[in-house]
Amino acid sequence: MNQTVYMDHNATSPTRPQAVDAVMRAMKVNGNPSSVHSQGRKARRLVEDAREQVRAAVNAAKSAQIVFTSCGTEANTLALQGCDRAKAFIGATEHPSVLGACGAFEIERILVDGNGLIDPFKLEEMFAGGGDDVIVSVMLANNETGVLQQVEGIARMAHRYDALVHCDAVQALGKVDVDFTTLGVDMMSLSAHKIGGPLGIGALIATKDVKLTAINRGGGQENGVRGGTENVPGIVGFGVAAELAKAELTDMARVQDLRDRLESRLLHIAPDATVIASMADRLPNTSFISMAGVDAETQIMALDLAGICLSAGSACASGKTKTSVVLNAMGVPQDVAQCAVRVSLGHTSTEDDIEHFISAWCDLYQRKHAAKSAA
């Protein structure tokens, strides 16, 4: 039986045992956190403790709002639809959930360069008519390429025009130091399952000055910003995962070493391979690599048969092996883009995983190119 090697942490990172234990304990608390009796107060305490764990993980001020949502997508939607702005300036390489949240907006796409980086001077030109009716949404780390945006500088510039700034930090948390206060953004989206927490729980962090309007209306939970009974077990698991992700950031040096070794070996085996945005500042765990002449779908299927789990890009996009919108926006040649797959490592990744992947990738590369030579 093939060894199973999981290399899709940017889609979902395997749940941490400590988070599983925390969820199980929380499920034994019977109260509704909105109830005033002892069990309700116990549930409320669990929610508020987790809120503080998430706050500490991103260094958000005590005054900042932390609204628990069902996922990062809902957090993005709440930020964009609940902010009372008419225009949205959206990075061309943003996650599909950000663009999907902008249905009623006047949208302008912020162009990126060949590394997927926003040019702040081009963004500034977009503010020619002012910015007090604008929300700018720029992700901290791209989920496909791992490229890190200069969010702090973008936020400073946008604020000069009185624009609001939202940052999707879903992919960055747990991989780089995410500091809400230092970045200077008005809102930030997070998700638990990207850091080894449970599926189905996320959060939106907002400064005290942001006036959010609920998009899910109901019983007034989450200070009236997100109606519906809180998912106490999920929230508790999120809090534990956030605390661990922050504490274990030093492990990313090991993960980056594994990633760099993988890229170096593959490029030695196949000099015609391409690592997307290799010269940009990237997440330490992410490699988007193109095997020349072998389309992404073929690679994913062949590697899956070898016991290796990875993807061709965003797990939230329909048509998972279609050419990446992100790569198109970056101007990556079509023949390179359609042959690119994403390797994303994490807290469970080992040296054996890297060796197994390199062996399987090399075997596929040699077989495909031998067949082409014989044709």
Rounded CA separation 270/106 (Å): 45
Q: How many residues can be counted in the chain?
A: 375
CA distance readout (Å), 357 to 107, 109, 262, 314, 362:
41, 37, 8, 20, 8
Strand partners, 89: 108, 136
Cα angle for residues 126, 128, 129 (degrees, 5° grid): 110
Decide if 102 is catalytic: no
CA–CA distance, 260 with 171 (Å, rounded to integer): 19
| Spatial separation of the C-alpha atoms in residues 325 and 313, rounded to whole Å | 9
Contact call for residues 181 and 165 (beta carbons, < 8 A): no
Cβ partners under 8 Å of residue 123, min gap 6: 89, 110, 136, 154, 157, 158
Q: Out of 167, 309, 316, 362, which one is annotated catalytic?
A: 316
Q: Chain centroid to CA 132: how far? A: 28
- CB contact at 8 A, 138 and 98: no
Tokens of 119: 């040019």
The distance between the two most distant Cα atoms of the chain, rounded to a whole number of Å, is: 76
Residue whose C-alpha is closest to residue 215's, from 331, 63, 292, 104: 104
- Residue 329's contacts (CB-CB under 8 Å, 6 or more residues apart) are 92, 93, 111, 112, 116
Catalytic amino acids?
A: 316
